[in-house]
């Protein structure tokens, strides 16, 4: 039998600790941010910077920050990068065990202050399904009587022991925008890392494979035709908060998204679920 326990850090940050026959995981209520997921007998699937000190009000530099209700910079100056969901305290709505899967749902209460950013009557929840795989479903529902538009991303940080021996496959047919330039046609099915990479891909196939010296990580997306591929490389690593100068050697982000022409347009009463599922290709069962 597994255990799912709610705990607190000394500074008050609350988290849900999951320890089952299939995996070990940890999800913070702040940001509904999962920072640890490790299938039993396998390597961790999520990366977190050793420089992060888990402060109240900061997103954690690793795991899966939830970028919502916009990705990147808002069109409105002074609005926070990647929205506000990643620094708010979410409510733990339910915890279930189904077969050996732990299923944990959190929802985001929109308080009075947040209405300056998001005045719309919508509901946001996230469902984590934790087994040998990690499935994350971000569910938006529009309760307003007018259409609502948003962008979003599950900003997943993946580990590698050597970025120089890491590549991402499954990019054929896509196009990308990088550093404000483009769109460029993606020339090959795969990308390796030799410099700062910060690409917003559109028209993207639903599966990518990250090959690392530790093995292949499968990244599936559903209801998403866009994704962000990011490695800050040397100079940006030195400027990033909660990030060590050499951290770029041991991580990459591949972020399941709804951005650019893949943004979400919700008609009154409609729902949309952005899904990502990640697992080691050679699962141990």
Least spacing, CB of residue 153 vs ligand G6P, in Å: 8
Measured from the CB atom, is 48 or 148 closer to ligand G6P?
A: 48
3-state secondary structure at position 186: coil
Q: Residue 129: which residues within 8 A CB-CB, separation 6 or more? A: 101, 102, 103, 135, 136, 137
104: tokens are 């944990």
Q: Which of 198, 214, 277, 283 binds ligand G6P (CB under 6 A)?
A: 198
Q: Which of 26, 82, 125, 272 binds ligand G6P (CB under 6 A)?
A: 82
**Using the rule CB under 6 A, is 149 a contact of ligand G6P?**
no
Q: Which residue is nearest to ligand G6P (CB)?
A: 230
**Using the rule CB under 6 A, is 194 a contact of ligand G6P?**
no
Measured from the CB atom, is 198 or 277 closer to ligand G6P?
A: 198
Q: Which of 43, 73, 81, 216 binds ligand G6P (CB under 6 A)?
A: 81
**Residues 7-66 contacting ligand G6P, CB under 6 A:** none
Count of residues in contact with ligand G6P, rule CB under 6 A: 7
**Using the rule CB under 6 A, is 228 a contact of ligand G6P?**
yes
Measured from the CB atom, is 29 or 229 closer to ligand G6P?
A: 229
Which residues sit opposite 221 in a β-bridge? Answer: 276
Q: Which long-range contacts (CB under 8 A, 24 or more apart) does 187-194 make?
A: 191/167, 191/229, 192/166, 192/167, 193/163, 193/164, 193/166, 193/167, 193/231, 193/233, 193/252
**Using the rule CB under 6 A, is 253 a contact of ligand G6P?**
yes
Identify which of 229, 230, 223, 221 has the alpha carbon closest to the alpha carbon of residue 263.
223
Residue with tokens 């916009």: 70
∠207-210-213 over CA atoms, to 5°? 155
Site residues (vs ligand G6P, CB under 6 A): 81-82, 198, 228, 230, 240, 253
């Amino acid at each position: 039998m597994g255990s799912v326990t709610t705990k607190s850090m000394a500074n008050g940050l609350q988290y849900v600790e999951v320890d089952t026959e299939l995996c070990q995981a940890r999800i913070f209520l702040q940001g509904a941010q999962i920072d640890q997921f490790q299938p039993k007998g396998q390597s961790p699937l999520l990366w977190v910077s050793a420089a992060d000190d888990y402060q109240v009000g900061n997103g954690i530099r690793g795991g899966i920050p939830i970028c919502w209700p916009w990705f990147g910079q808002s069109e409105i100056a002074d609005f926070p990068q990647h929205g506000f969901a990643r620094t708010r305290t979410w409510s733990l709505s339910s915890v279930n065990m189904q077969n050996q899967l732990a299923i944990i749902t959190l929802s985001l209460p929109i308080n009075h202050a947040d209405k300056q950013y998001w005045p719309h009557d919508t509901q946001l929840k996230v469902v984590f399904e934790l087994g040998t795989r990690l499935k994350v479903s971000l569910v938006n529902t529009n309760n307003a009587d007018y259409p609502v538009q948003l962008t979003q991303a599950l900003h997943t940080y993946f580990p590698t022991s050597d970025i120089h021996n890491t590549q991402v496959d499954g990019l054929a047919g896509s196009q990308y925008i990088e550093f404000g330039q483009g769109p460029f046609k993606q020339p090959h099915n795969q990308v390796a890392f030799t410099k700062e990479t910060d690409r917003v891909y559109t028209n993207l196939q639903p599966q990518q494979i990250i090959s690392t010296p530790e093995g292949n990580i499968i990244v599936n997306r559903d209801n998403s035709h866009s994704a962000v591929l990011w490695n800050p490389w040397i100079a940006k690593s030195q400027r990033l908060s909660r990030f060590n100068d050499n951290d770029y050697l041991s991580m990459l982000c591949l972020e399941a998204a709804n951005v650019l022409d893949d943004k979400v347009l919700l008609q009154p009463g409609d729902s949309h679920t952005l899904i990502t599922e990640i697992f080691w290709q050679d699962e141990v069962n």
